[in-house]
Structure 1
C-alpha cells in the first residue's frame, strides 16, 4: 500500500514574478494596469491575456483565502484579523473597478467571437456578461462593509465557548456532542449552547439587522427589488 501523499504544487507563473506576494495595493496595481493596457491583436493573444488574468486573480483569491483561514482558526490573534481586514478594506475595494474594466476589455474585444464555441469559454463569457451587468461602483463600499460586518459576526460566533465535562470547548466541538446516543448528554449540551448564544443575542441581532439593510441597498443600487432576486441573478 502506498501511504505517500502527493502534495499539489503551485503552477509555474508566467505573468507574475515567482516571488510576488500580495502586500499592498500599490504593489498590486501595476500588474492590473499592465493587463488593462495590453494590446490584444488576435485570438491567440486574447487566450494568453486571459491566462495572465487568471493567474493574477488566482494569487489574489488564494491570498485572501489564507488570510481568512488564519483569522477564523485563531480568533484571538489580532494580527491575523488585521491582515484580513487590510485585504477587505484596502485591496479588494481598489481592485473591484479594475475587475469591471478588465471584464469590459474582454467583452469588447473583436477576437472574442472566435472563442465562443471552444469548450469552457461559453461559460466564462456568460459569467463576464453577468458581472458587468451587476457591477455598480456605488456598491463597492457597501460590499466592503458587508464583508467586514460578516467577519465581525463570525468572530463573535467563533469566540463562543461552553464548559462540558470540566473542559472549555467551542460551539463547533459541542455540536459533535449533539450527535451522541446519550439523550441526557444531548439535552445538556443543547441548553448550554442556547444559553451561550443568548449572551450575545443583542450584538448578533444588531449585526444581522444591519447586514439585511446593506444587502437590500446593494440590490436596489443594481436595479433589483430585493437581495434574493439580485443573488439569484448573480448565480445565473
Structure 2
C-alpha cells in the first residue's frame, strides 16, 4: 500500500519494533495522575499513542487484504500478529486497571467517559494472559482461510475469474450460461471444503478455550461481554429469528413463487434467482475495467444527497484510500478500515461491474462518512460507535441513494429495476442474518460438536430461513457447505445480528427521509458525530429511530417495504 505513516504524530516511533513501543506504554502503567486534569491529560496522551499503534496494525491488515499472495506483505502482517499485537493486550490490561483504580476517574464527566468506563471495566473483567497466545493462533488460522479464499480462481469457457468476477454471469439471460457459471464456481469452492473445515474446527476449539479461561461457559457468553452488548441479550436475537420466520419468510417465499411463474420454469434453480424475469439484459452499471468512472458516478450520488458527503468521498480518493477492483490475490468481501492517527477511512472491496457493487461502495461510503464525522472526537476510546449503529450509517446510505441510481443507468426502466432489486434485497438481508446469526448461536453453545452435527444444524436453519421454492436437487453438497463463503463466521464470530438491527434502523431513517429529507439527514449526521460517546439507544434516538428489533418493529417496517416493492414495476 505504501501510504504515509504517522510521522507527523510520533516521528521517532517504529511500531514494528517492540523495544520502542514497550517503554511508551509502560509510562502509562507507572503514572499516577493526581488530579482530574492530570488524568484527563493521561487519557489524551494514551489516545495519541494508541492511534499510532492501531493505524500501524490497520495498515498491515489492509496491505494483507489487498495482496494475499505477496510474501513480504504477509511476513510484515504476521510480524504484527505474532510479535506486536499479542504483547499489546497485557499492557493495555494494566493501563486500563491503572485508570479504573484512579480515585479521580469519576470526576471525568466529559461526554463519553461514562461509556469508556463501562467498556474498560468489561475488558478488565474478561482479560486473561493465557488467552493472548490463543487469540494469536486464531488470527493465524483466519489468515490461512484468507489465503485459501484469495487464491480461489474459477475456470470458465477458457477464461479465469475470481468468485466476484464470475458472478457477472449469474444474471445472464441465457439459462445454460448461468447454470454453467454457477456450477463452475460452486465446484471450485467445494474443492476447498475439507481445507476450510480443517481450519474451522481448531478455531472453534480455541474460542471455547478462550471463553473457559475467562470464566464463561461458552464463547457466546464471552462475546456478549467482549463486544459490550449491554443493551440486548442472546434471547432477543433468537426471538428476532422467530419474528423473521413469521413476518419476512412469507414475503420472501412469495417473491420466489412470482419469479418461478414469471420465468415459466418447471423448477426454480439457484442460478435462476438473479436473472431478469422478462429476459431483459442484466444490469451493468459500470465497466469493472474503468474504476475511475465507477468512483465518479458514485460521487454524483453522494453529492445529490448532500455536498458534504461528496467532499468526504473526495478525501478518500485524494489520500489513495480506495482499493476497489477485483483481482487474483485479493481477499474477498468489502470493508471500511479506520486509520486513527491520520483520521482517515479506507475502503476495500471487489468490484466486478454489478449492481451490488454500487450498493457495496455506497455502504462502505456510509461507514467512511460516519468515521469522518466522529474523527473530530479527540479521545480515541470514545470515537467509535457500537457496531449495531455503525451499520445504520452504511445501510441508511444505501437506501437514501436508491432514488439516484439513474446516475448509472440510461433508462427509467433500469433505474426502477435496480431499486426493486435493492428493496427485495432488504428482505433477503433479514432472512440471511437470521440464518447466519442462528448458526453462530448453535455453533458456540454446542462446544465439541462433530462436523455431521454442524451440518445438520446448518441444514435445519436453511429449512427455516431458506426458500422452499428454489430447487437444490443434485446440488446438496454445495448447499450444505454454503456457509463456508461467509467470512464473518471465520473472522468475527457473532458479528452479524448487527446487520439486522441496523437494517431496521436504516428503514426507519429512510421512511423519515421520504417525509422530510433535510431533517432526516440532519438527525443522521448528528448521530454520526456522537461516535461512541453515547449508548446505543441514544444513538438510535438521535438518528430519529427506535432501538428495537422485535416483531413490533419488524412488522410495520416490512409492511412499508412490501408496499414500496409492489409500487415498482416488475
Taking the aligned partners of 2:11 and 2:100, their CA distance within structure 1 comes to 29
The secondary structure found in structure 2 opposite 1:163 is strand
How many residue pairs get aligned? The number is: 224
Q: Which residue of 1 aligns with 2:331?
A: none
Trace 1:35-114 onto structure 2 (pairs within 5 A): 35-114=28-107
Sort the Cα spacing of 1:104 and 1:183 in 2 relative to 1 into closer, same or farther, 3 A. Answer: farther
Q: Aligned Cα RMSD in Å?
A: 2.0
In the TM superposition, what whole-angstrom CA distance separates every residue of 1:114-172 from its partner, at most 9, and x where no partner exists? 01x33111111111001001101111110010011111111111110112453322123
In the TM superposition, what whole-angstrom CA distance separates every residue of 1:11-48 from its partner, at most 9, and x where no partner exists? 963xxx33423122112111011222223121111111
Sort the Cα spacing of 1:143 and 1:185 in 2 relative to 1 into closer, same or farther, 3 A. Answer: same
Q: Which residue of 1 aligns with 2:160?
A: 168
In the superposition, the TM-score normalised over structure 2's length comes to 0.38
In the TM superposition, what whole-angstrom CA distance separates every residue of 1:49-80 from its partner, at most 9, and x where no partner exists? 11111122221211111111111211110011
Taking the aligned partners of 2:97 and 2:90, their CA distance within structure 1 comes to 11
Q: Who wins on radius of gyration, i.e. which is larger?
A: 2
Trace 1:1-236 onto structure 2 (pairs within 5 A): 13=9, 17-115=10-108, 117-178=109-170, 180=172, 183-236=175-228
The answer (yes or no) to whether the contact 1:107–1:125 under 8 Å persists in 2 is yes
Sort the Cα spacing of 1:222 and 1:177 in 2 relative to 1 into closer, same or farther, 3 A. Answer: farther
The answer (yes or no) to whether the contact 1:67–1:83 under 8 Å persists in 2 is yes
Range with greater deviation from structure 2 (76-85 or 193-202): 193-202
In the TM superposition, what whole-angstrom CA distance separates every residue of 1:90-122 from its partner, at most 9, and x where no partner exists? 11111111010000000001110101x331111
Taking the aligned partners of 1:45 and 1:162, their CA distance within structure 2 comes to 59
Sort the Cα spacing of 1:122 and 1:74 in 2 relative to 1 into closer, same or farther, 3 A. Answer: same
Taking the aligned partners of 2:40 and 2:175, their CA distance within structure 1 comes to 60
Taking the aligned partners of 1:133 and 1:105, their CA distance within structure 2 comes to 14
The secondary structure found in structure 2 opposite 1:168 is strand
